[in-house]
Amino acid sequence: MEKNISGVKASIGSIPITHVVYADDIVLFSKACKREANAINGFLEKYCRWSGQLLNRAKSGVIFSKITHQQTCRGIKHILQMKSLKTKSVYLGAPLFLTKAPAKDFKFLQERLEAKLKRWRRLYHGREDPL
């Protein structure tokens, strides 16, 4: 409401997305600058006070765009006391960021499904047909 962080736009002319909440996880979007990092710190502290939840900074992280200067990244990580996440990070078993080849990004799902089917076939063929 106070517009302390800029968020990201999905398309030209759209409203910026500043956050996504799923269960007890929060993803915040902002510009890579110290002012917005300090604003995020303030939001997180206020959220913890209001909700009674604690933030585990060791399990939290930040992701920067490729064009963000290393000095800026270091400063923001210091302010937030968080580490950088790899672009291949996953959340609930799915990649956070997709490449230009989504078939490769989700190949692991196909492999897991095929492995389950293989196990089920072995179990099924080892017993009599239930019908």
How confident is the model over 55-85, as pLDDT tens digits? 999 989 999 988 999 999 999 999 999 999 8
Q: Quick one: tokens of 60?
A: 């939290």
Question: pTM higher than 0.85 for the full model?
Answer: no
Q: Is residue 9 part of a domain?
A: no
Q: Is residue 109 part of a domain?
A: no
The DSSP element (H or E) to which 83 belongs, if any, is strand 83-84
Q: Residue 1 pLDDT more than 60?
A: no
Q: What is the mean pLDDT of the chain?
A: 86
Judged on CB neighbours under 10 Å (0-12, 13-18, 19+), 58 is exposed
Q: How confident is the model at residue 131 (pLDDT cuts 50, 70, 90)?
A: very low
Q: Is residue 101 part of a domain?
A: no
Q: Which residues form the domain of 58?
A: 19-93
Q: Domain total for the chain?
A: 1
